[in-house]
Amino acid sequence: MTDFVTRDGSTWMPEYLMKIDGETCIGCGRCYKVCSRDVMHLYGVDDEGEILGKCEEGEDEDFDGELNRMIMVVDSAGACIGCGACARVCPKNCQTHQTADKLAA
């Protein structure tokens, strides 16, 4: 296993974002705002819980009136560096993270 260290030599274990629970997520966007790696994005959801598509920044998409709510979806998991900033700001604790030592190479 690789030893992860900070710049000052302290040991550190990255915790990568694996998924976001769409039932619990309120789509507040806090995690998106603190993520410097573009790991997750807002997606629209209809009344049945089906994902309608990505909500583009700056656009007021209603998906032809089908939009019920918005949730965050991990759509670029490979870009995650495991910093944990998203977990620290999530008010619903709806994210699943995995430590680097538990991931298969």
pLDDT on residue 60: 73
pTM to 2 decimal places: 0.86
Residue 5 domain flag: no
Report the domain count for the chain: 1
Q: What is the torsion angle, in degrees rounded to the nearest 10, for the CA atoms of residue 34, residue 89, residue 102 and residue 72?
A: -70
Q: Which domain holds residue 20?
A: 15-102
Q: Which residues have a Cβ under 8 Å from the Cβ of 25 and sit 6 or more positions away?
A: 71, 72, 92, 94
Residues in the chain: 105
Query: Is 9 inside a domain boundary?
Result: no
pLDDT tens digits for the chain (105 residues)? 567 999 999 999 999 999 999 999 999 999 999 999 999 999 999 999 999 999 987 677 778 899 999 999 999 999 999 999 999 999 999 999 999 999 865
- pLDDT value at residue 56: 83
Is residue 26, in this structure, part of any structural domain at all?
A: yes
- Provide the CATH number for the domain around residue 71: 3.30.70.20
Q: Is residue 96 part of a domain?
A: yes
Whether residue 83 lies inside any domain: the answer is: yes
> What is the pLDDT at residue 53?
94
On whether residue 53 sits in a domain, the answer given is yes
Strand partners, 19: 96
